Structure 1
Amino acid sequence: MIYSLPKAFLLLAFAVGFFAAASEGVAQEQATKSTSDMVLASEVEWTQLNPARGDASPQAATLWGDRSGTQATGFLVKFVDGFSSPPHIHNVTYRGVVIAGGVHNDDPAAEPMWMPAGSFWTQPAGEPHITAARGTTIAYIEIDKGPYLVMPTDEAFDNGERPVNVDASNMVWLGAASTTWIQSSAESASGKEPQVAFLWGNPQSDQANGTLVKLPAGFSGNIRSDNSNLRAVVIAGQAKYRIDDKTDRKTMTPGSYFSSREKFLHQISTTGEAECILYVRSGGKFDVIINE
């Protein structure tokens, strides 16, 4: 069954500081020395997501971690137009954010409900479902532990979780007046401020959480991580990004990725007239800062 959540419900969830925890006991990633990484969408290596299906398999590209290992992992998945999987289950729960095209993910007998770019969904471990694509489709998938396996429905089980599908139009965006995650004494050059939409985890705690960040056209500033692992994927638009003052700015298109451990200041700006949306997985709170 698909759970399509109205804005009023989402706003209530944000008010209590919790929304759509996709799994219980989300593990904190172990922080180490301060460092950073960046992967451009043009640099990723595509392989078969499910080699057992051969050429019928979607393509996958790992951004961080190892989906065949036991650790938390984030990867891209690419579907051809008209793709529809057979009913199946997974051994682990995953979260997904649509980058391009449209995704239908639900019980095998459910009527299609297409989630466009910018939508978010969760798939509980053990629950039979199908995944279908409309148009050339790319999504970002994230697991808290591996390996990521595709298994037959006769091995289905109920782990107590329930799926959550949130259409991009149902996101609740919060600005500086509504959250302390936006640090600003001035608007961006476009006259608009950054916004965030909390997806999972408790944004009022120091635990792992997932958030969408919307940077308006003309934005120039920083994303500041304080003593926590941070991983970010470009979902829509483009951004100019550099790790430090000694490196050139790189253009990050949808599917590009950057990360940091410990305290770090990510220098980022938007290009052209379009806003940029990022998905950010963080081990705690982070700040979006507008340059004066």
Structure 2
Amino acid sequence: MVKFVDGFASPPHIHNITYRGVVIAGGLHNDDPDAEPMWMPAGSYWTQPLGEVHITAARGDSVAYVEIQEGPYLVQPPSEAFDTGERPVNVDASNLVWLKASDTSWIEPTKTVIKSEPEITFLWGQPAADQVSGTLVKLPAGFTGKFITTASTFRVVVIRGHLSLGLDDKSENASLVPGSYFGSEGGATHEISADEETIVYVRTKGTYRVAAKE
């Protein structure tokens, strides 16, 4: 997690590795030094290729989940810039394309009609068995259900809202606010619920399904 104070603005710089980011709070701008500000709100997603000159700025106290491909993570001057052919991606939360059970097998269809259902958007990678990928899952207010996974790694970060997570051998659920994390390795079922609309980021090697309780 990275926190930015209101008004933060970095000088132009590069990184030695590619990273991805999801905005959790506030508004962030990450682009070429001469680009017009694009303030990405909570739920927005971006990637920053290694070697590409850019700046990062914050409007309001801001928080982001930053995922590093591999370490170490270094900040270097523009004079060391290089071009790998990869280009940055900035996706405002309002421009994400959400898929429902009728669009993807990653959301289990329900036997009965429900008012609202979970949705998923695929951000990066290859969403297939034994492949690494990143997704966002949107759970509607009042959702009760589970994540079902056989993935070798399954990692979840709460981006927006509030998630309740069932814990083995405990009568009380864990209460997860934005920035909270849980995960598993190998086959697992995670009982979850959300009183308000909630968005989580999921990084996984393999596949998973979201199933609503009927």
Q: What range describes the TM-score normalised by the shorter chain of this pair?
A: over 0.9
Q: Within the alignment, does 1:234 sit opposite 2:162 as a pair? A: no
Q: 1:159 to 1:129 in 2, by over 3 A?
A: same
Superposed CA deviations along residues 38-87 of structure 1, whole A, max 9, x for unmatched, are xxxxxxxxxxxxxxxxxxxxxxxxxxxxxxxxxxxxxx000001100011
Go from structure 1 to structure 2 and tell me whether the alpha carbon gap of 1:187 and 1:229 turns closer, same or farther (over 3 Å shift): farther
Question: Distance between the aligned counterparts of 1:246 and 1:228, measured in 2?
Answer: 25
Residues 188 and 206 of structure 1: CA distance in aligned 2, closer, same or farther (over 3 Å): farther
Q: Which residue does the alignment assign to 2:212? A: 290
CA distance in 2, matches of 1:230, 1:133: 30
Change (3 A) 1:173 1:228: same
Gaps of 5+ in 2: none
What is the match of residue 137 of structure 1? 62
- Name the counterpart of 2:143: 219
Which residue of structure 2 lines up, in the alignment, with residue 66 of structure 1? none
Aligned residues: 214
Q: Distance in 2 between matches of 1:227 and 1:199?
A: 18
Aligned match of 1:154 in 54, 76, 79? 79
Residue aligning to 1:103: 28
- Deviation for aligned residue 1:160: 1.8
Distance 1:91 1:122 in 2: 14
Q: CA contact under 8 A between 2:7 and 2:58: conserved in structure 1?
A: yes
1:223 partner letter: F
Provide structure 1 residue ranges, at least 5 long, that are not aligned to the other structure. 1-75
Change (3 A) 1:177 1:91: same
Conservation of the 8 A alpha-carbon contact between 2:102 and 2:109: no
| Larger strand share, 1 or 2 | 2
SS in 2 for 1:116: coil
Deviations 1:112-139 (A, max 9, x none): 1111111000000011100000011000
Q: Output one character per residue of 1:90-114: Cα deviation in whole Å (capped at 9) or x when no partner.
A: 0000000001111110111111111
In structure 2, what is the Cα distance between the partners aligned to 1:207 and 1:144? 15
Q: How much has 1:153 moved relative to structure 2?
A: 1.1
CA distance in 2, matches of 1:187, 1:171: 27
The two structures, once aligned, show a CA RMSD in angstroms of 1.4
The whole-number CA distance in structure 1 between the counterparts of 2:140 and 2:173 is 18
Q: Does the residue aligned with 1:115 lie in a helix, a strand or coil?
A: coil
Would you say the 8 A contact 2:98–2:120 is kept in 1?
yes
Matches within 5 A, 1:1-292: 76-186=1-111, 191-246=115-170, 248-271=172-195, 274-292=196-214
The alpha carbon displacement at 1:228 in A equals: 2.0
The one-letter amino acid paired with 1:287 is R
Matched residue of 1:112: which SS? Answer: coil
In 2, Cα distance between equivalents of 1:229 and 1:94: 19
Q: Is the 8 A contact 2:151 2:208 kept in 1?
A: no
TM-score (norm 2): 0.96
TM-score by length of 1: 0.71
Cα gap change, 1:291 to 1:91, in 2 (>3 Å): same
> Could you say if the C-alpha distance between residues 127 and 159 of structure 1 is closer, same or farther in structure 2, counting changes exceeding 3 Å?
same
CA deviation after TM superposition for structure 1 residue 204, in Å: 4.1
Letter in 2 for 1:88: H
